[in-house]
Amino acid sequence: MVGIITQHNIYAHYLHNTLLHNLTNKFIYMINIHGIILAAGKGTRMNSDMPKVLHILSDKTLLEHVLIKAKNTCKHVHVVYGYMGDQVKKSVSDNSINWVHQSEQLGTGHAVSQVTPHIEDDSISLIMYGDIPLIKESTLNNLIDQACISGLSLLSIDLKDPKGYGRIIRTDGQIKAIVEQKDANEKQLNINEVNTGFIAIKSKLLKKYLKEISNRNSQSELYLTDIIALAVDDGRIVESVITIDRVEVAGVNDKVQLAELERELQKKQSLGFMNQGLTLKDPSRFDCRGALIFGKDCTIDVNVVVNGDVKLGENVSISPNCIINNSIIGSNVVVLPNSVIEGSVIGDGASIGPFARIRPQTKIGKNAKVGNFVEIKKSSIGNNSKASHLSYIGDTIIGENVNIGAGVITCNYDGSKKHNTEIKDGAFIGSNSELIAPVVIGKNATIGAGSTITNDAPEDALTHSRTKQSTLKKWRRPSKK
What are the pLDDT digits (tens) for 345-361? Answer: 999 999 999 999 999 99
On the 0-12 / 13-18 / 19+ scale of CB atoms within 10 A, 216 is exposed
Spatial contact of 387 and 381, defined as CB atoms under 8 Å apart: yes
Exactly one of 76, 110, 118, 389 is catalytic; which is it? 389
pLDDT at 438 over 50: yes
Q: How far apart are CA 110 and CA 211, in angstroms?
A: 10
Is there a catalytic annotation at residue 419? no
Domain boundary assignment for the chain: 31-249, 255-463
Spatial contact of 48 and 38, defined as CB atoms under 8 Å apart: no
Q: Angle at CA 278, nearest 5°, toward 273 and 284? A: 65
Mean pLDDT of the chain: 91
Spatial contact of 365 and 386, defined as CB atoms under 8 Å apart: no
pLDDT at 139 over 70: yes
pLDDT at 478: 75
Q: How far apart are CA 186 and CA 172, in angstroms?
A: 20
SS3 sequence of 404-417: ECCCCEEECECCCC
Mean pLDDT of 310-321: 98
pLDDT at 83: 87
Beta-strand pair 239-242/152-158: parallel
Confidence of residue 475 (pLDDT cuts 50, 70, 90): confident
For domain 31-249, give the fold: Spore Coat Polysaccharide Biosynthesis Protein SpsA; Chain A (3.90.550)
Q: How far apart are CA 241 and CA 243, in angstroms?
A: 6
Residues 169-224 pLDDT 10s = 999 999 999 998 888 999 999 999 999 999 999 999 999 999 999 888 878 889 89
pLDDT at 369 over 50: yes
pLDDT at 2 over 50: no
Spatial contact of 326 and 342, defined as CB atoms under 8 Å apart: yes
- Superfamily per CATH, domain 255-463: Hexapeptide repeat proteins (2.160.10.10)
In this prediction, what percent of the chain has a pLDDT beyond 70?
93
The pTM score is: 0.85
CA dihedral (191, 192, 193, 195) positive or negative? positive
